[in-house]
Amino acid sequence: MKARMGLCFSLLLLGLQLWLNGRAYRGPGLTTVPSGAEVRVFRTGGRLSAAGGFSGLTEEIALGHSPGPLPLSQADMPARLILRLPGYQDNEVKITSWPPPEPIRLSPKFPLTPLYYSLLRTPGWWGLALLLGTALSTLWNRRLQQRLQQATAIRLAQGELRPGDRVADYTVERVLGRGGMGSVYLAYSSSGQPVALKILRTSSRFQEEARTYQKLRHPNLVFLLDWGQVHGQLYLALEFIAGETLASLIQKGQPIELSRLLADLLSALTELQRLGIVHRDLKPDNVMIQNGRARLLDFGIAQSSGEASSAGTPGYSAPEQLRGQPVDARADLYALGALLYHAASGRPPFPGATPAQILKLQSEGTFEPLQGPHAALIHSLLQPDPNGRPSGPAELQE
């Protein structure tokens, strides 16, 4: 594309230059191509010299500029003239008749000299040059934008957006995470607002996830700012929370205030229960800590209470959920217990090597008991039978 545009532009300049070189401004006297050359004559012995060479030269006499009129006549012939024009080679010529029958061509010092000096001498040409430059720039930008959009569409479909890629009103800066449902990027809107831009791999959950997010207006839940479709791909623009995930804090061994974490997540789950929503994927990776406050993220597999699906994360999702049975708020309480266990001990409660081993430990309720002020509560949340757990988050807030 760049090569073709460069070739077209070069051919345009070449054509314009050839046209300018071919223009001859006819006048009553000497004509040069291009016009405007300073014309000087060599004077020797007090008269115009027609002698061979320049021996005996005493001075140059300026006669004027082409195309004239010039103070020469046939009586002054033959004569030796020197023609000078900025950007062109000096041209020494001998003329034998007046006016010369053909225009005298000057040789440029540089390839674009004719174009430059024509524009310099003729202000009207600047308008044409500006118009041509604007047209070429517009065409170039349009084709460039088309190419960029095509490349972005391909990377969007592959889930491999790069910094600078534009999706709807958002410009991607970097990837925040990838998962089975899609990828999440830090992006900025045209107004400069940072967002977490989530690109969904499939459309089956899009409408439901968007509707779920639209209901959420709670300080411990992430907000949906915008959603739509571009290049055939679905996106959600979510509130960007500048902080660290709970998983990152646990991995770094940083101290975690369990009481504050428990209060924040119970508040979020109580709001979800009020709306009839089961998160179904509560785990350290989906909890963001910002200035000590916990925010619950990623409602990609959230469903209404009572619905059944086996999607979830072994070791955190409730056994009945992983078996594909209907779930309610008690399934999120189970995941809360597993999350608190991990945060308190630094290790997950069910460290199996495979999902099947983990589910077996969960179904048996086999985990190493905790010690501490929150141990009893966490143990009650990790009961494999949902009837053995509290009825909902609101009960724990009383």
Find the radius of gyration of the CA atoms of the chain.
41
| Catalytic hit among 281, 285, 328, 332 | 281
Q: Could you read off the pLDDT of 106-147 as tens digits, one per residue?
A: 888 877 666 666 666 665 555 666 677 777 777 767 776 667
The verdict on whether 165 is a catalytic residue reads no
Peptide linkage before 78 cis (omega within 30 of 0): yes
Average pLDDT over all residues of the chain: 79
- Given pLDDT bands bounded at 50, 70 and 90, which one contains residue 54? very low
Least confident of 18-27, 252-261, 293-302, 324-333: 18-27
Bigger pLDDT: 97 or 59? Answer: 97
Asked whether residue 395 carries a pLDDT value surpassing 50, the answer given is: yes
Least confident of 192-196, 206-210, 344-348: 206-210
Bigger pLDDT: 192 or 49? Answer: 192
pTM: 0.61
Instruction: Please name the residues in contact with 386: beta carbons below 8 A apart, sequence gap of 6 or more.
Output: 318, 320, 328, 330, 331, 334
The per-residue pLDDT for 32 is 85
Write down the domain spans for the chain: 32-45+67-122, 158-239, 244-397
Strands (E) located in the chain: 32-33, 38-44, 47-48, 59-65, 79-84, 91-95, 104-105, 166-167, 170-178, 182-189, 194-200, 224-230, 233-239, 244-245, 277-278, 287-290, 293-296, 303-304
Asked whether residue 58 carries a pLDDT value surpassing 80, the answer given is: no
The per-residue pLDDT for 300 is 58
Asked whether residue 335 carries a pLDDT value surpassing 90, the answer given is: yes
The DSSP code sequence of 206-226 is HHHHHHHHHH---TTBPPEEE
- Given pLDDT bands bounded at 50, 70 and 90, which one contains residue 57? very low
Bigger pLDDT: 344 or 64? Answer: 344
Asked whether residue 52 carries a pLDDT value surpassing 80, the answer given is: no
Asked whether residue 209 carries a pLDDT value surpassing 70, the answer given is: no
Asked whether residue 325 carries a pLDDT value surpassing 60, the answer given is: yes
Architecture of domain 158-239: 2-Layer Sandwich (3.30)
Asked whether residue 303 carries a pLDDT value surpassing 60, the answer given is: no
Select the highest-mean-pLDDT range: 106-110, 202-206, 232-236, 378-382. 378-382
The answer regarding whether domain 244-397 maps to CATH 1.10.510.10 reads yes
Tokens 């008749």 found at:
97
Bigger pLDDT: 54 or 171? Answer: 171
* Distance between start and end Cα atoms, the chain: 68
- Given pLDDT bands bounded at 50, 70 and 90, which one contains residue 326? confident
Bigger pLDDT: 77 or 158? Answer: 77
Select the highest-mean-pLDDT range: 55-59, 60-64, 340-344. 340-344
Q: Could you read off the pLDDT of 217-260 as tens digits, one per residue?
A: 889 988 888 888 888 788 889 889 888 999 999 999 998 999 99
The per-residue pLDDT for 46 is 47
